[in-house]
Chains A and B, each alone.
Chain A
Amino acid sequence: MGSSQSTSEEVRELVGKTGFSSDQIEQLHRRFKQLSGNQLTIRNLRKAPTGLADEINFEDFLTIMSYFRPIETNMDEEQLEHCRKEKLRFLFHMYDSDSDGRITLEEYRNVVEELLSGNPHIEKESARSIADGAMMEAASVCVGQMQPDQVYEGITFDDFLKIWQGIDIETKMHVRFLNMETIALCH
């Protein structure tokens, strides 16, 4: 791997791992080099909070991208379920910033605040109350009726699955990966 031309074994290995076609891997590799400035890895430029990787190599890059592959048409139920779970797990980790297996209220709030940050007129407080409402809703969906002294600590992955029950994630979470050389030079 790296700036040199990928050998075919490596490519084949990646095909097996990620499910991309070798053409797509070629494309993505070109894109990766473009993004990384011909380095081996892409550095995380943001002054990110702890818990984020500093840099990712091409294999990580491919793995991340593979979450956004469309589902295969010939999947059976079990594979479909598996695929769905994998996609959701990826999403879950995007919320769960400290990766303790729970989306706490604080984490949820951060997400909502960022979502609403596009509108300068909505204040942080409203974002918070929305996050609170969503959390409460999540609690009611996942736990059902809570006892008065019961405690809801955050959305676990199982709860997350429950929340997403009504949404066909497998028909939504995908991006088109092209085989042809049409990638725009965009940044």
Chain B
Amino acid sequence: MLPATLPLLGMPLSGAGAGVADGAAGESVLPPAGLALLRWQWHEVEAPYLVAVWILVASLAKIVFHLSRKVTSVVPESCLLILLGLVLGGIVLAVAKKAEYQLEPGTFFLFLLPPIVLDSGYFMPSRLFFDNLGAILTYAVVGTLWNSFTTGAALWGIQQAGLMAPTVRAGLLDFLLFGSLISAVDPVAVLAVFEEVHVNETLFIIVFGESLLNDAVTVVLYKVYNSFVEMGSVNVQAIDYVKGVASLFVVSLGGAAVGLVFAFLLALTTRFTKRVRIIEPLLVFLLAYAAYLTAEMASLSAILAVTMCGVGCKKYVEANISHKSRTAVKYTMKTLASCAETVIFMLLGISAVDSSKWAWDTGLVLGTLFFILLFRALGVVLQTWVLNQFRLVPLDKIDQVVMSYGGLRGAVAFALVILLDKTKVPAKDYFVATTIVVVFFTVIVQGLTIKPLVKWLKVKRSDHHKPTLNQELHEHTFDHILAAVEDVVGHHGYHYWRDRWEQFDKKYLSQLLMRRSAYRIRDQIWDVYYKLNIRDAISFVDQGGHVLSSSGLTLPSMPSRNSAAETSVTNLLRESGSGACLDLQVIDTVRSGKDREDAIMHHLLSGGLYKPRRRYKASCSRHFISEDAQARQDKEVFQQNMKRRLESFKSTKHNVCLSKSKLRLRKAGRKKDGSADKDTPNGKPHRASNLPDTAAVILAVESEEESDSSETEKEDDEGIVFVARATNEVFREHKVPGNGSMEVCPSPRIIPPSPTCAEKELPWKSGQGDLAVYVSSETTKIVPVDMQTGWNQSISSLESLASPPCAQAALRAAHPLACAPPRGDELRDPLAALVTPSPEPHAGFTFAPSLAKAGRSRSESSADAPEQQELQPLMAPEDRGCLSPGTANARWLIQFNRAGRL
């Protein structure tokens, strides 16, 4: 994005930078005598080159500032940048003998401001914003009007009183004009300072929202006064005042309307970008920028337009665009905004050096500083007093102090004052100087002191706790309750109307603006759940090994390690990760700790790590970013973890449903053997088991988000997992039809890990003499254990060899798509043919049939679950040729587990 904007930025800046002629040394005046080996073409690249260099300097400066944490924690970055600008400007002045590189109003309004406003609008916490909209609007409209009138009038007063030099030739209108541009709180400055202060969110949104929305008022006042000044005060008629008031509404409402129209367009466009994902981020920026330019063109409030565009489109755009586009949008927006902000502050500093534009008047400067502080504070107190009559949560005195002190002025004021016409406003030079001083004072002095002030006043700070599922749920319930209570009371207030809006949004807007697949799963609660799951999966994978090594077999006792904020599902997940140990823990005759640790590590790795397999996907397209291996692996790891989590849920659920006595949070084990198959989205029924047993009617309770999203995110291939599983039940088989996706991964995925040698040799295990049949995942050899003890030792090593030598592998390669819609009937049998089942049921296997019916595989968590050791992946679904009916007492459960999609 950055290089793309550079030429744009360059055009107006080139005017500022054109004066540099030093670089033109290489240009020859005479026609070249021959072929030049090298030609120096500075002029052709000058403008963009200079822009790039400036941005580079600013970025490098940022890096330098942040080298020292101490400095940036005390001094806001904006102050440092301004100071740097002053220094650089001084250097340029000393070298070139004249000031260069001013902050040009055109550049500022057309190129530097939009990214910042878009960023703030797009990432505005909309709920908070609308909750406090009343207060924000009051401060933005009434407050700004109040500030500009009083400041202008008071300045005129002290001029009349003779406190200013007589060279300041300005009438009341000039002062009002100056008051209008100097009184507006600046969004860039406020954002730069308040982002580092971390006041509580209500306070932040009020100050920040005010700074964004007051733009409309500022623009109107500025334009109205400016035209009054140009007309001359004698020519102003009463009708012009009326027009001025009317234009306030036109400009603000018009700007907002333009923004909303473009937000609508943007949302609608992104609905259809499914096949051209790559341009999604571009669309966001283009349409938002178009909104800005359109509003600017119609002389409406452009800031308001972009803000509304960002606020309005976010929900739908985020739902429509892909995950990667979302990241791209986020980062590009942040980069552009931070880049623009840096350049603005630096140019502010540089511009201040140019003394030719200055005309200093102590009375005016001091008077302005005093009055803007005074009237800001007065205005805030008065308005808050009025607002508190209506607000249910009043703003207290400390809030008011911070609000008045947080009224920073910035580059908008500077750009506006530069735009003044010197012939019409004779005191322009004085105003410029005063504005620079005011901006510097507010940004540097107030910016420096606001942090200690906030600390000293003990302003409620925002606590950045991560969103929890409970919180989200409660808040939603809460919204409903409040809306209901308002209904009962009979007063249709804010909650009622918000509820109505949400209904409307759900019924019409979302349906119109969201992709159908996105609309389906669109729900805030769902989003939070989804995000938490991803976070947990990542942290689990990150920490899995660590847990083991630190705590060995015992469950990690971690409360001390984690802060309160950290104790989330993550902990439980960690438990569930290490819950694999539970099986072993109950065994008395355990081997050495090392063996156990090895075993755990093995299962953990095999469960939590990516399993390489072959895929046949030609990914060479310019319009699609093919998933890189890392992302794909992450996805798989996530899927596996989700299965694991669901396993633990199932045992939980189970206890509640059936016994209703105890809710037991089980730490599910390592085997996500997929006891629950996934419900397929296209609604094909499960093939029921063909044996009328009581047990093992496997419920389709696989992770919903997987099935849901498998509809939405289509473009990756999947493995199909076949799991052979020994249970005490008779044959079950279960089928999940393929979803007809074009790309089906030809090679099945191996889900359950194979046991380690040490485990197999554990006494309790071997003592049973049971169905220990191992299927080597790679070679699809199935070997009875009692016949092939030596086999055990080699399994682990065999697994690492990824070359299936046997015929099945060749067959698989030959029919890559054969496994896509597996046919359940036939699939049961290959195992039976290959397996030598033991005649005896497990002695210690005591599942209640009802438990199994509930579809919970509890083998991981129960002590008497040796059969999990026999869980083996069966890799050869295609070899139907060797099917033979299974023996009645062969207790194998074959399940298909189509890997969920993210």
Contact surface of A with B, Cβ cutoff 8 Å: 28, 31, 34-35, 65, 68, 70, 73, 91, 94-95, 104-106, 111-112, 115-116, 118-119, 121-123, 125-126, 128-130, 132-141, 144-148, 150-154, 163-164, 166-167, 171-178, 182-186
Contact = CB atoms under 8 A, between A and B. Distances in A.
B526 A126 contact: yes
A177 B490 CA distance: 9
Contacts of A174: 392-393
A140 B569 contact: yes
- Most B-side CB within 10 Å, residue of A118, A145, A164, A184: A145
A185 B533 CA distance: 45
A43 B358 CA distance: 78
A137 B469 CA distance: 7
A135 B656 CA distance: 12
Contacts of B657: 106
Contact of A133 (B476, B569, B664): B569
B299 interface: no
Contacts of A68: 482, 485
B473 A134 contact: yes
B490 A137 contact: no
A167 B471 contact: yes
Given A129-B649, A182-B491, A137 B526 contact: no
A37 B559 CA distance: 56
Interface stretch (B27-35, B517-525, B874-882): B517-525
Contacts of A115: 473, 476-477, 480, 525
20 contacts: A91-B477, A94-B481, A104-B663, A106-B656, A123-B704, A125-B700, A125-B701, A126-B705, A130-B473, A130-B529, A133-B469, A133-B532, A136-B665, A140-B569, A145-B571, A146-B575, A171-B393, A174-B392, A175-B493, A184-B492
A104 B525 CA distance: 20
A46 to B, nearest CB: 13
B492 A145 contact: no
Contacts of B556: 145
B652 interface: yes
A80 B703 CA distance: 42
A31 B470 contact: no
Given A133-B532, A133-B533, A176 B469 contact: no
Given A148-B555, A176-B493, A166 B474 contact: no
Label chain B's interface by main secondary structure: helix
Contacts of B572: 136-137, 139-140, 146
Contact of B490 (A141, A163, A166, A183): A183
Contact of A186 (B487, B506, B645): B487
A4 B585 CA distance: 73
B582 A148 contact: yes
A138 B470 contact: yes
Contacts of A34: 490
A126 B704 CA distance: 5
Nearest to B532: A133
Contact of A166 (B471, B473, B559, B570): B471
B558 interface: yes
Interface string B570-593: 111001000100100100000000
B559 A144 contact: yes
A34 B646 CA distance: 49
Nearest to A151: B662
A137 B652 contact: no
B463 interface: yes
B653 interface: yes
Interface string B671-694: 000000001000000000000000
A176 to B, nearest CB: 5
B488 interface: yes
Interface in B417-456: none
B598 interface: no
B846 interface: no
Contact of B506 (A73, A119, A122, A144): A119
Contact of A31 (B489, B559, B648): B489
A147 to B, nearest CB: 7
Contacts of B585: 148
B126 interface: no
B565 to A, nearest CB: 9
A144 B526 CA distance: 25
A130 B526 contact: yes
B465 interface: yes
Contacts of A121: 519-521
Contacts of A130: 469, 473, 525-526, 529
Contacts of A28: 489
A144 B393 contact: no
Given A122-B526, A163-B470, A167-B475, A186 B703 contact: no
Nearest to A150: B665
A35 B488 CA distance: 8
Interface string B357-382: 00000000000000000000000000
Contacts of A140: 567-572
Nearest to A102: B663
Nearest to B394: A73
Interface residues of B, number: 75
A157 B314 CA distance: 37
Contacts of B473: 111-112, 115, 130, 134
Contact of B652 (A132, A164, A176): A132
A39 to B, nearest CB: 16
Interface string B490-528: 111111000000000010000000000001111101100
B644 interface: no
A111 B575 CA distance: 27
A167 B474 contact: yes
Nearest to B558: A145
B40 interface: no
A166 B567 CA distance: 13
Interface string B705-728: 100100000000000000000000
Contacts of B569: 133, 136-137, 140
B571 A152 contact: no
B619 interface: no
Contact of A177 (B489, B679, B700): B489
Given A166-B465, A175-B495, A145 B485 contact: no
A144 B555 CA distance: 13
B828 interface: no
Contacts of B356: none
B468 interface: yes
Contact of B474 (A105, A132, A164): A164
A65 B501 CA distance: 24
B486 interface: yes
- Most B-side CB within 10 Å, residue of A121, A137, A167: A137
B891 interface: no
B478 interface: yes
Nearest to B582: A148
B477 A111 contact: yes
The 6 closest A-B pairs by CB, nearest first: A126-B704, A121-B520, A144-B559, A132-B649, A70-B392, A134-B469
Nearest to A119: B523
B800 interface: no
Contact of A178 (B477, B485, B491): B491
Contacts of A133: 469, 529, 532-533, 569, 645, 649
Given A70-B393, A125-B704, A177 B526 contact: no
B557 interface: yes
Nearest to A61: B488
B63 to A, nearest CB: 35
Contacts of B664: 151-152
A184 to B, nearest CB: 5
B667 interface: yes
B708 A186 contact: no
Given A73-B394, A129-B703, 7 more contacts: A116-B523, A121-B521, A125-B679, A133-B529, A133-B649, A137-B470, A176-B493
A111 B469 CA distance: 13
A136 B665 CA distance: 8
